Amino acid sequence: MATSKTSKTATATKAAATEATTARPAGSRAAARAASARLDVPKTYKLFIGGAFPRSESGRVTEVTDARGRFVANVAKASRKDAREAVRAARKAQPGWAGATAYNRGQVLYRVAEVLEGRKAQFVDELVQTSGLTAARAAKQVEAAIDLWVWHAGWTDKIAAIGGNANAVAGPYFNISVPEPTGVVAIIAPQSEGLLGLTSVVAPALVMGNSVVVVPGSAPLSAISLAEVLATSDMPGGVVNVLTGDAAELAPWLASHADVNALDLTGAGSLDWISLEQSAADTLKRVIRPEPGIAPETPQRILALTETKTIWHTKSRL
Amino acid sequence: MTTPSQALAPAERAVQLLGGDLSEVALRQHLEGLPTVDAVGLEARAASFGTRSIKTTSKAAALDTVIRMIDLTTLQGSDTRGKVRSLVAKALVPDASDPSTPRPAAVCVYGDMVGNAVEALGSAWSAGKDDGINVAAVATAFPSGRASIGVKLQDTRDAVAAGADEIDMVIDRGAFLEGNYGKVFDEIVQTKDACRRDDGTYAHLKVILETGELVTYDNVRRASWLSILAGGDFIKTSTGKVQPAATLPVTALMLQVVRDWERLTGERIGVKPAGGISTSKDAIKYLVAVAETCGEAWLDPHLFRFGASSLLNDVLLQRQKLTTGRYSGPDYVTID
């Protein structure tokens, strides 16, 4: 991946080349071929903030290349100000998402799986193109990711039964503990496993009603395509915000941000994650460390991003 | 509707500019003779104010200037004495985590809350002098202005008697749009008269044009000019109850009027945009507009104010970001 400020150079050259081809005067067969040839419709992968797809405030992009180094697409490179906007959007969306019933959140997460299933081919293509996986292995990974969304959808109305409890207390009180969402969660997603890695950190944060600002790892194209899925899955805008870009640049701002409640450093193993954790401690954030971390697809991962609320209520004596 | 000259109360500025036989006709000819506004040019100019790069120390200075210019406002039907007390507490200590934070210029409340605001301010109340926090009151049947003149004047007198240092009056937009400039003029003159305190001094009079209801830029220019002629100390864009409220082009236009008035007479009139300015970024654009239209001398709470409630919190968050180097959040400012 090479970084450049001039976003469209590569695509522009490509488009010019195509134009030259179509404009060439030639024999009838060549003309027919030219008439049927379509111009490329290259896609610029933008950020996902508050349900919209803005470019980076900084105007920067990163070029994504395929396994052989050929240009594939430009991806927005988020700045600290984009991170600030993303946190603001996440904060705004969080009470609404947490306030939805567990049943409703489950429906929405399942809907994400449904829409992903319908767009499977696109995700497979993107993975094959950028990660050099074979089509079969890419398909397997996308399917695993879809299944993981379904798995999490099922937990929304069940996790409280594991994380909560009716406590025995020495007095005439009902004493009940229930897990509550911690708030805004900033996530550095795993650097490997593309869509699956991303899903394995984003979905558990969403189950209980947190909102998320995620810096995806190795698969920025999958991350933005996933954002397009989320945008059409009844997920309220701002619940998930995707900041493609340099994790090393963005992570310190998210770690120190006073309005972020938890920091998931699962994909930060190659960064200086100890100072990130120290910086997060200033504002008492929950932190999930990259080592040893918490295994994906476990209830512990969901509960790691919750707070426990305990309620005392008198037992009446009739 | 076109009552002749004697109906108009005497107003010093208008008499000096338009001559002794101040008549509705003379007033109309003067206002309608003002050059029309180039709307496209004005909006382009206003948009350009947002393109200045103001960073680090300049930004810190700008944020402090914004705070000093704020009229911290609560104008809800649901205002309670407690709400006014907490508003005053916020004005006294805007940011408990940083005692160096400047205080806003004034608190702005409904007339019946003036006494409570004065009491809550205690020794920090400026009481008409220059070293403290002013109490501003909205008056004259705010926000609609639809009441008899007697009611409007009594409203004003009550607020001044209770200790209001500044009166924010609304003009009769209906009369203005009918072309009945004389009526609008008279009401401003009479309200100014009602701002008189027992010792002969006057509470500062801010005239709210409610630009969102005046429809055209030409009307805004005429109303600004009319308000100044009638004795207003400040011209204010809006009540905050009508959309659009303050916009950058309208404020820039009003700044041009006060600049022209200073060139003509040497007298400085203040401008107060109010309503809809809720971010530091927007507020700084207004400061740029002030500095580039009227000059930096106008960056003074006596000559420029923001009517705002949520703006202060956003400025405090930005201020905390500059001091601590990390982004702050709504948990670190008050809930208003």
CATH at residue A168: 3.40.605.10
Per-residue pLDDT averaged across A104-127, rounded? 96
pLDDT below 50 — which residues of chain B? 1-7
Same domain, A196 and A100: yes
Same domain, A25 and A86: no
Cα distance between residue A204 and residue A264, in whole Å: 11
Same domain, A198 and A100: yes
- HEC string of A239-279 equals CEEECCCCHHHHHHHHHHCCCCCEEECCCCCCCCHHHHHHH
- HEC string of A91-157 equals HHHHHHHHHCCHHHHHHHHHHHHHHHHHCHHHHHHHHHHHHCCCHHHHHHHHHHHHHHHHHHHHHCC
Report the candidate in A270, A274, A269, A275 with the shortest Cα–Cα distance to residue A291.
Answer: A269
Same domain, A222 and A257: yes
CA distances to A91, A160, B191 from A154, rounded to whole Å, are 25, 12, 67
pLDDT at B188: 95
Residue A191, pLDDT above cutoff 90 = no
pLDDT at A29: 58
pLDDT at A21: 43
In a domain, A51, yes or no: no
C-beta atoms of A258 and B332 within 8 A: yes
pLDDT, one tens digit per residue, over B19-74 is 877 888 889 999 999 999 999 999 999 999 999 999 999 999 999 999 999 999 99
In a domain, A105, yes or no: yes
User: Which two tokens mark B157?
Assistant: 């007198």
Q: Are strands A211-215 and A240-242 parallel, antiparallel or unpaired?
A: parallel
Which residues sit opposite A313 in a β-bridge?
A: A174
C-beta atoms of B329 and A84 within 8 A: no
Average per-residue pLDDT in chain A?
89
Same domain, A30 and A67: no
Residue A24, pLDDT above cutoff 50 = no
Residue A254, pLDDT above cutoff 50 = yes
Residue of A243, A283, A284 to mutate, interface with B, max B Cβ within 10 Å: A283
User: Which two tokens mark B87?
Assistant: 């508003």
Residue A3, pLDDT above cutoff 60 = no
Burial class for B105, CB neighbours closer than 10 Å (0-12, 13-18, 19+): buried
The residues of B annotated as belonging to the active site are: 168, 236, 272
Residues in chain B with CB shorter than 8 Å from the CB of A91 are 329-330
Which residue does chain A place closest to B332, by CA atoms?
Answer: A258
Same domain, A166 and A199: yes
Residue A117, pLDDT above cutoff 70 = yes
In a domain, A48, yes or no: no
* Radius of gyration from C-alpha coordinates of chain B: 19
Polymer length in residues for chain A: 318
Same domain, A1 and A150: no
C-beta atoms of A258 and B326 within 8 A: yes
Contact B133, B91 (CB under 8 A): yes
Crossing angle of helices B56-68 and B311-324, rounded to 10°: 150
Sheet of A211-215, strands arranged across:
A240-242, A211-215, A184-188, A262-264, A286-288
Full residue range of the structural domain in which residue A4 is found: 1-38
Same domain, A303 and A211: yes
Instruction: Report the domain count for chain A.
Output: 2
In a domain, A45, yes or no: no
User: A284 CB near a chain B CB, below 8 Å?
Assistant: no
pTM across the whole model: 0.87
Instruction: Provide the shortest C-alpha distance from residue B331 to chain A (in Å).
Output: 7
Residues in chain B with CB shorter than 8 Å from the CB of A86 are none
Q: What percent of chain A has pLDDT over 90?
A: 79
Q: How confident is the model at residue A131 (pLDDT cuts 50, 70, 90)?
A: confident
- φ and ψ of B158, to 5 deg: -60, -45
Q: Are strands A286-288 and A211-215 parallel, antiparallel or unpaired?
A: unpaired
In a domain, A24, yes or no: yes
Instruction: Provide the shortest C-alpha distance from residue B270 to chain A (in Å).
Output: 34
User: A138 CB near a chain B CB, below 8 Å?
Assistant: no
Contact B89, B104 (CB under 8 A): no
Same domain, A152 and A227: yes
Instruction: Provide the shortest C-alpha distance from residue A313 to chain B (in Å).
Output: 29
Cα distance between residue B81 and residue B93, in whole Å: 18
263-322 of B, contacting A, C-beta below 8 A: 320
Same domain, A25 and A138: no
- Between A61-75, A194-208, B162-176, the lowest mean confidence (pLDDT) is in A61-75
Report the candidate in A200, A204, A213 with the shortest Cα–Cα distance to residue A242.
Answer: A213
Residues in chain A with CB shorter than 8 Å from the CB of B326 are 253, 256-258, 279, 282
Residue A81, pLDDT above cutoff 60 = yes
In a domain, A92, yes or no: yes
Q: What percent of chain A has pLDDT over 70?
A: 89
Which residues sit opposite A48 in a β-bridge?
A: A242
Same domain, A67 and A16: no
Q: How confident is the model at residue A130 (pLDDT cuts 50, 70, 90)?
A: confident
C-beta atoms of A259 and B325 within 8 A: no
- Between A42-46, A92-96, A236-240, B37-41, the lowest mean confidence (pLDDT) is in A42-46
Residue A31, pLDDT above cutoff 80 = no
In a domain, A46, yes or no: no
In a domain, A112, yes or no: yes
For this complex, say whether ipTM is above 0.95: no
Same domain, A65 and A10: no
